Structure 1
Amino acid sequence: MSGLRHILIVMLAVLQLLLTTSCYGLRQINELALVTAVGLDIGKEPGSVKLSVQIIRPADARGQTGAPAGGTGQPIYSISAEGRSIFEAIRNLGHFTSRRVYWAHNFLIVMQEDYARRGISDMIDFFTRNHELRMNTWVAVTPDSPDEVISTITGLEVVPGEAVDRLFRNVEIVGLAPASNMRSLEEAYMSQSVQPVIAKIRLVPRGISNKKPEEHGSLNQVELAGAAVFQKDKMAGWLSFKETRGLMYFLQNLRSADEVVDCPNSKDNFVTVEFKQMDFKVAPAYINGLPRFHIRLKNKADVVENNCGRTTAELRQEIQEAVDQKVTAEIQSVIAKLQQQYQSDVLKLGDVFRNKFPVEWQRIGADWNAVFAKAETTVEVQTTIKSTVLKAGKQGVK
């Protein structure tokens, strides 16, 4: 009986211990600095890093007209600090930040171009080790100041980091920048067959002030604007809008895309075509010791604007040929840039070749960037116009 009593006492003691420690490690939201965007730049001291963070003010980010008691009315609070490493810079934030920095709600890491050209291995190492950071956090490079980028109110969102998050979520429709996040960056950095490519964002004067609507473009906005190509951890250069459009077929499962082409025998009027179904395939071959790639894109498209004064049915063949030529030129332009100027395979052609020719890959994989620069490529684009109902002219669209 005494033994049973002893067991009951022990169980009650363990239960009480669990109840009193159930909140151990719990962090109250009012004790944390919730980071929603991070900027990385070169610091003033040689080899140092400048880290900027956008911290959300929960009480002031509710979209209300007036500031709550004790609040400033501003939804975010942006600060920066420098250090010899990213971790030291974060610790230095503690010199003037009353709350502990918390990363679990971060949307974006944006790096300045000079920082990216110096090398981003420290950034990859730190943020992949950080257990609070999500691997689907977006990553971007900017030619502008990162602390200004992460502080710019963009679009309809109160918090800038959330606005950029929504921009990235639409890249499969807009198709002007790759959806680069920490997971894809780490995979490419660790890969022997693929090099990293990161979205480019920049500030552009597109916003219109409600107080001064006559001053068009008086407010800066963050814009997805191409891509940055890397060789391992160092940025090699930029891709233009046209080159990035060609890049996107290789990297994203695009849900939609559009092309604007000149009307036949007219440079003043245009036809706009929207791709509805896209079938993109890369067929590798290995001939005379060099890889070859046949790139084929089949599009089913609708004409969404026709300002040529003739029916789509009458222009069908000419529009298809014009679209084929333009898309082919976009794909060829990005391949030429990557092969001739950067020697960096961000197109994942190395993965395609390795999967088809694993034995040959063992011989050439160690020097893939040099091999990729010499690889032969052919591009085939076939566009089929489905819609024939639009007609444009003086009488309007029919």
Structure 2
Amino acid sequence: MRRLVCLLLAFLPLLLLTSSCYGLRQINELAIVTAVGLDVGKEPDSVKLSVQIIRPADARGQTGAPSGGTGEPIYSVSAEGKSIFEAIRNLGHFTSRRVYWAHNFLIVMHESYARRGIGDMIDFFTRNHELRMNTWVTVTPDSPSEVISTITGLEVVPGEAVDRLFRNVQIVGLAPASNMMNLEEAYLSRSVEPVVAQVRLVTRGISNKRPEQHGSIKQVDLEGAAAFVNDKMVGWLSPKETKGLMFFLQKLKSGIEVIPCPNNQNKIVTMEFKDIDFKVKPSYSDKLPSFHIRLMIKADVVENNCGAPMTDLREETEEALEAKLNSEIQSVLTKAQQQYHSDFLKLGDVFRNKFPMEWKQLGSKWGAAFSEAQTTVEIKTTIKSTVLKAAEQGVK
């Protein structure tokens, strides 16, 4: 008996070594997806799935193809099915490798697909154990298959290029950072509606090989957003409305505003703000919610084309900046409350946290209560430019 036990202990390390290779996948056997496009298929209620597959041998940034390669860093292919999973299986008819999702950066949905409803997309991709929940999600008015296959900017892989655009969103402030995690959270919430960033193709840039073809290169532009009610898209938010939206959704690190000069409306002054204090205070009276929105900003003058010292224009410039920011916030409030009747501003979360008992009565009909809620906006700006300080000290 002791000899049998000793033999088993001796063979145990060998069993562990061999079992550790179980389920091993070689990289040359996988179709590594970096971007996905979803569109309405040709058949009724069908879905068209497009995937951007990386070519590891050709995605190293060379201007020419490596030995045995094609020179193209990505391979894009599409298939249709009654569901997303069936469309993926149909890719196997002409894709020689197994689709692998763990390195996917981006999901791009066409506007028509988003208006039809994205519940199936959320269900499938949140169930998929290979997909990361920080995968970016966008809506486009253009063809998703073209968006995910357009090599843009400085990156070789289009999906990675859009990923880097999203990482700068807190600085640029022109689109919400919408990923699968916050999309699912808003979809399942009773107090918040989803809002998803917009991407589109724009013609800009100059070809290195043909400089005379100015503006002939298509690039992916991340700007604006799509508003939803439940899982259906109800409309777009303009860049101006999206700038107002960003104060509600994210802690912005920076931003810029360009306004006409107080002394000359034909010239402009550009300001950058970094110190941003944004607060929403809810109230409840006569069975109706209300919100007081307060924004405090300190800004630097980074470009003054007014032809006069900012010390002479400070008060008027601050008032003009306040009016510009107020217009952006009011525009997104109007779009959310009066046109779309969709609380993608997360005001429901703010109200629920302050008034949990009242929320029990309003929660089931929050859409109507949100549309009738009174909102007031208070904005205070302070110009704190170092150039201005130096000028003031010089005057003294």
Provide the TM-score with structure 1 as the length reference: 0.96
Structure 2 stretches lacking a partner, 5+ long: 390-396
Within the candidate set 196, 199, 203, 2:197 is matched to 199
Query: Does structure 1 residue 382 correspond to structure 2 residue 393?
Result: no
1:6 maps to amino acid: L
Q: How many Å separate the matches in 2 of 1:64 and 1:279?
A: 46
Return the letter of the residue paired with 1:260: V
Cα distance in 1 for residues equivalent to 2:234 and 2:10 = 64
**1:98 corresponds to which residue?**
96
- Aligned residues with identical type, % of pairs: 74
1:236/1:342 contact within 8 Å kept: yes
Supply the distance in 1 between the matched residues of 2:63 and 2:137 (Cα, whole angstroms): 32
Contact 1:312 1:388 in 2 (8 A): no
Map 1:109-128 → 2, pairs under 5 A: 109-128=107-126
For 1:275 and 1:251, how far apart are their aligned partners in 2? 17
What CA RMSD, in Å, does the superposition of the two structures yield over aligned residues? 1.0
Q: Which residue of 1 aligns with 2:227?
A: 229
Q: Which residue number corresponds to residue 163 of structure 2?
A: 165
Aligned to 1:348: 346
Number of matched residues?
389
Checking the alignment, whether the CA contact within 8 Å between 1:197 and 1:346 is kept in structure 2 is: yes
Q: How far off is 1:388 after superposition?
A: 5.3
SS in 1 for 2:382: strand
State the TM-score, normalizing by the size of structure 2: 0.97
2:392 maps to which residue?
Answer: none
Q: Which 4+ runs in 1 deviate beyond 4 A?
A: none
**Cα deviation code 1:76-132 (max 9, x no counterpart):** 000000000000000000000010000000000000000000000010000000000
Q: Which residue of 2 aligns with 1:66?
A: 64
Partner residue of 1:216?
214
Q: Which residue of 2 aligns with 1:394?
A: none
Post-superposition CA distance 1:221-263 (Å, at most 9, x none): 0001200000010000000010000000001110001111101
Deviation at 1:390, TM superposition (A): 6.0
Q: Which residue number corresponds to residue 49 of structure 2?
A: 51
SS in 1 for 2:349: helix
CA offsets per residue over residues 116-152 of structure 1, 9 Å max, x none?
0000001000000000000000000000000000000
Q: Give ranges in structure 1 of 5+ residues lacking alignment.
A: 392-398
Per the alignment, do residues 96 and 223 of structure 1 end up closer, same or farther by CA in structure 2, a change over 3 Å counting?
A: same
CA displacement, residues 323-355 of structure 1 (integer Å, 9 cap, x when unaligned): 000100100000001101100000000000000
3-state SS of 2:387 partner: coil
Distance 1:69 1:390 in 2: 59
CA offsets per residue over residues 257-282 of structure 1, 9 Å max, x none? 11111011422100101001000000
Alignment-derived partner of residue 318 in structure 1:
316
Verify: 1:37 aligned to 2:35, yes or no: yes
Partners in 2 of 1:236 and 1:148 — Cα distance?
Answer: 24
Paired residues for 1:1-398 under 5 Å? 3-387=1-385, 389=387
Q: Equivalent residue of 2:282, what SS?
A: strand
Cα distance in structure 1, aligned partners of 2:12 and 2:286: 73
Deviation at 1:70, TM superposition (A): 2.1
Q: How many Å separate the matches in 2 of 1:378 and 1:21?
A: 64
- Contact 1:293–1:378 (CA under 8 A) maintained in structure 2: yes
Query: Per-residue deviation at 1:9?
Result: 0.9
Matched to 2:328, the amino acid is E
Q: SS of 1:389's equivalent?
A: helix
